[in-house]
C-alpha cells in the first residue's frame, strides 16, 4: 500500500477536486496578471527614467562652422574649467547613435526623420559640488566657437524628484496589490478547507496536529500560485504580442515602441506566487482550523 | 483512567444544562456502559472526554491529564491515546479501507513499515483484510463500522470511547461489533460505550453500567 508525504497528499487532494482547482487557479491568475501588468509598467518606466537620467548635465553646442578637430580642442579647453568633471566632443552622427540608444524600444520613431537635426556639441559632466552652474554656462556661452549652452540640470532635478515621489507611490501601490493577491490566496485556501471540513475534523479526532493538516494546504496554495503565475505570464505575453502588432492601437502607435515585456516577469510572478501562497496558506488555514472545533 | 469531578455543561441558548454535577471514576481496563435516553447528555460527556468541549464547571481528567488545563496545541497528543468510534462511522468515503485505518497511525508520524504491519494486523482482527483496497463507501454498514473500530484500535489506545457504535447496525452486526470491543481485541484498554439501547447490555456481560438521566449520573450496577 502506498503512503504519501505532504506533497503527495497535496497532489492527491488537488486531483480529487479539479473544479475547485480550476476556480482557484483562474482567480489567482487574474490577480497575478494585474500585478504583472503593474510590474511591467513600473519596470518600463524605471528603465526609461534611467536612460534619461544618465545623460550629461551641460551641453555646449558648437557653431556650424567649427570643424571636428576644433571641437575637440574646445572640449579640452572646457575640461580645464573649474566645476567641469569631464568634457567630450560628440559629433552629430555620434549624438544620433546615443539618442537612439537612449530611446531604446522607441528608437524606431526616428526612422522617419529626413535629416539629422542634432548639432555637433561638447558634453560636459559637472562636478557634484559646483556652486553656480548658471554662471559657468554664461561664461562658456561667451567663448569662441560656442553657439549655445543647454543646461539640463534643473529639469533633470525636477524629473528626479518626480520619479522619486512616483517611485514611493508605486511601491505603496505594489504592496497593496501584493496584499490583495495574498487575500485572494487566503480565500481560495479557506474555500478548500471548507470543502474538506469533514475530512479535516476526522483527522483532528484521531490526533492530527496542525502541521499534518496544514501542510497539504500550504503546498496546494504554492502549487496553485505557480500554475497561476505561469498562466498570468502567458496571458500578459500574449497581450503584449497582440498589442504590439501593427494597427492594434490607434494613431499608429505600437506597444513595442512604448512598453516591452520584461523577460524576468514570469520569474518575478512565480516568486510572488510562492510567497503569497505561503502567507495566504497560513492565513487561510489558521483562520479555519481549530482542534476543539470537531463534529 | 477517567475522572470527572462535579462536571456541568451548559450550552448557550439552552435552558437545561446538558450535564449537572457529574462525578465519575473509571479505572484502567474497565468496560463501562454509559446508558440513558436520547438527549440525556451521553454524547456531551464523551465530547468532554476527547476534548471537543470544555466543561462549564468541574474537572475532566483523562489518563492523568486535566483537559481544562490542556493547551489546544497539546490536544492531538491526548487524542492519539484514544480510540473513537461513532454511530455514523466517520470514515473518509473515497479512501480505501487501508488508508482509513492507517490515518490514525500516520497522523502520529509512525514509520511506514510499522503502519503497514499494524494495519494488516487490525484488519485481520476485524476480518476485513480482503477489503483492504476497497473504497470505504462501497462497504456495508457493518463493514464500515468494523473499519472505524480498526482505525480506533490501530494505535493501541489506552481508552476507547464508542458513541452508539451499534446504532446503525442490524442485531447480528451489533453483536459482532460488541464482541470486538472486549477481551484481547482491545489490548486491555478501558472501554466506555454510550448507548440508549438496553438490549445491548446483554451482549457483553459483566460490564459496569452508569446511567445518565437529564444530565445527572447514577450508578446502575
CB B63 within 8 A of CB B159: yes
Assess whether pLDDT exceeds 50 at residue B66.
yes
Cβ contact (<8 Å) for B103 and A199?
no
Spatial distance between the Cα atoms of A226 and A241, rounded to a whole number of angstroms: 22
What pLDDT, on the 0 to 100 scale, is given for residue A251?
63
pLDDT in tens, A160-218: 777 777 778 888 888 998 898 888 888 888 888 888 888 888 898 999 888 888 888 88
**Residues of chain A that touch chain B, judged by Cβ-Cβ distance less than 8 Å:** 1, 3, 16, 199, 202-210, 212, 290-292, 294-295
pLDDT in tens, A9-23: 888 888 888 888 898
Mutate to test the interface with B, among A5, A206, A291 (most CBs of B within 10 A): A206
- Residues of B with Cβ-Cβ distance to A208 under 8 angstroms: 76, 107
What pLDDT, on the 0 to 100 scale, is given for residue A132?
62
What pLDDT, on the 0 to 100 scale, is given for residue A111?
81
Averaged over A105-117, what is the pLDDT?
80
Percentage above 90 pLDDT, chain A: 15
Name every residue whose Cβ is closer than 8 Å to that of residue A72 and which is 6 or more positions away in sequence: A89
Cβ-Cβ pairs closer than 8 A, A with B, add up to 67
- Residues of A with Cβ-Cβ distance to B103 under 8 angstroms: 202-203, 206
A257 confidence band (pLDDT: 50, 70, 90): low
Mean pLDDT of chain B: 89
Quote the minimal CA–CA distance from B112 to chain A in Å: 7
Higher per-residue pLDDT: A263 or A3: A263
pLDDT in tens, A215-229: 888 899 999 999 999
Cβ contact (<8 Å) for B115 and A3?
yes
Q: Of A189-193, A250-254, B140-144, where does mean pLDDT reach its minimum?
A: A250-254
pLDDT in tens, B103-125: 999 988 899 899 999 999 999 98
Please tell me the pTM assigned to this model. 0.68
Residue A104's nearest CA partner among A257, A287, A226 is: A257
B96 confidence band (pLDDT: 50, 70, 90): very high
A1 confidence band (pLDDT: 50, 70, 90): very low
Averaged over B153-171, what is the pLDDT?
88
What pLDDT, on the 0 to 100 scale, is given for residue A267?
93
Q: Which of B92, B116, B133 sits opposite A199 (nearest CB)?
A: B92
What pLDDT, on the 0 to 100 scale, is given for residue A258?
62
CB B51 within 8 A of CB B78: yes
Assess whether pLDDT exceeds 90 at residue A102.
no
Averaged over A127-155, what is the pLDDT?
78
Assess whether pLDDT exceeds 50 at residue B62.
yes
Angle at B170 between CA B139 and CA B42, to 5 degrees: 100
Quote the minimal CA–CA distance from B1 to chain A in Å: 18
Amino acid at each position: 500500500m502506498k503512503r504519501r508525504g505532504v506533497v503527495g497528499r497535496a497532489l492527491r487532494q488537488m486531483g480529487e477536486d479539479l473544479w475547485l482547482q480550476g476556480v482557484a487557479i483562474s482567480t489567482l491568475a487574474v490577480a497575478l496578471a494585474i500585478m504583472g501588468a503593474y510590474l511591467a509598467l513600473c519596470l518600463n518606466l524605471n528603465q526609461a527614467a534611467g536612460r534619461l537620467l544618465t545623460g550629461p548635465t551641460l551641453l555646449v553646442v558648437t557653431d556650424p562652422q567649427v570643424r571636428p578637430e576644433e571641437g575637440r580642442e574646445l572640449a579640452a579647453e572646457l575640461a580645464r574649467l573649474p566645476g567641469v568633471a569631464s568634457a567630450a566632443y560628440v559629433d552629430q552622427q555620434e549624438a544620433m547613435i546615443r539618442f537612439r540608444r537612449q530611446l531604446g524600444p522607441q528608437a524606431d520613431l526616428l526612422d522617419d526623420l529626413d535629416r539629422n537635426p542634432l548639432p555637433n556639441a561638447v558634453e560636459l559632466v559637472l562636478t557634484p559640488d559646483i556652486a553656480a552652474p548658471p554662471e559657468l554656462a554664461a561664461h562658456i556661452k561667451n567663448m569662441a566657437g560656442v553657439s549655445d549652452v543647454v543646461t539640463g540640470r534643473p529639469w533633470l532635478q525636477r524629473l528626479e524628484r518626480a520619479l522619486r515621489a512616483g517611485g514611493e507611490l508605486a511601491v505603496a501601490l505594489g504592496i497593496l496589490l501584493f496584499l490583495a493577491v495574498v487575500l485572494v490566496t487566503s480565500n481560495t485556501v479557506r474555500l478548500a478547507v471548507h470543502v474538506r471540513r469533514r475530512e479535516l475534523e476526522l483527522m483532528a479526532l484521531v490526533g492530527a496536529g496542525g502541521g499534518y493538516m496544514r501542510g497539504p494546504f500550504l503546498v496546494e496554495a504554492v502549487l496553485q500560485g505557480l500554475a497561476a503565475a505561469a498562466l498570468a505570464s502567458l496571458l500578459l505575453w500574449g497581450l503584449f504580442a497582440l498589442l504590439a502588432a501593427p494597427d492594434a492601437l490607434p494613431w499608429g502607435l505600437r506597444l513595442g515602441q512604448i512598453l516591452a515585456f520584461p523577460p524576468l516577469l514570469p520569474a518575478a510572478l512565480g516568486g510572488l506566487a510562492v510567497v503569497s501562497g505561503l502567507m495566504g496558506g497560513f492565513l487561510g488555514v489558521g483562520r479555519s482550523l481549530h482542534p476543539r472545533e470537531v463534529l | 483512567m477517567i475522572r470527572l469531578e462535579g462536571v456541568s455543561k451548559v450550552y448557550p441558548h439552552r435552558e437545561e444544562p446538558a450535564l449537572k454535577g457529574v462525578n465519575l471514576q473509571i479505572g484502567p481496563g474497565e468496560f463501562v456502559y454509559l446508558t440513558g435516553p436520547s438527549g440525556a447528555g451521553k454524547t456531551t460527556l464523551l465530547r468532554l472526554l476527547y476534548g471537543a468541549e470544555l466543561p462549564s464547571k468541574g474537572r475532566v481528567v483523562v489518563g492523568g491529564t486535566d483537559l481544562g488545563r490542556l493547551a489546544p496545541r497539546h490536544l492531538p497528543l491526548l487524542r492519539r491515546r484514544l480510540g473513537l468510534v461513532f454511530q455514523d462511522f466517520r470514515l473518509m468515503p473515497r479512501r480505501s479501507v487501508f488508508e482509513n485505518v492507517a490515518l490514525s497511525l500516520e497522523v502520529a508520524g509512525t514509520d511506514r513499515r510499522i503502519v503497514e504491519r499494524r494495519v494488516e494486523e487490525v484488519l485481520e482482527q476485524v476480518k476485513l483484510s480482503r477489503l483492504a483496497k476497497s473504497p470505504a463507501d462501497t462497504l456495508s454498514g457493518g463493514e464500515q463500522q468494523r473499519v472505524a473500530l480498526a482505525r480506533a484500535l490501530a494505535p493501541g489506545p489506552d481508552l476507547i470511547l464508542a458513541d452508539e457504535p451499534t446504532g446503525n447496525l442490524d442485531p447480528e452486526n451489533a453483536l459482532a461489533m460488541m464482541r470486538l470491543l472486549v477481551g484481547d481485541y482491545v489490548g486491555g484498554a478501558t472501554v466506555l460505550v454510550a448507548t440508549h439501547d438496553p438490549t445491548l447490555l446483554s451482549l457483553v456481560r459483566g460490564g459496569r453500567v452508569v446511567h445518565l438521566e437529564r444530565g445527572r449520573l447514577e450508578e446502575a450496577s
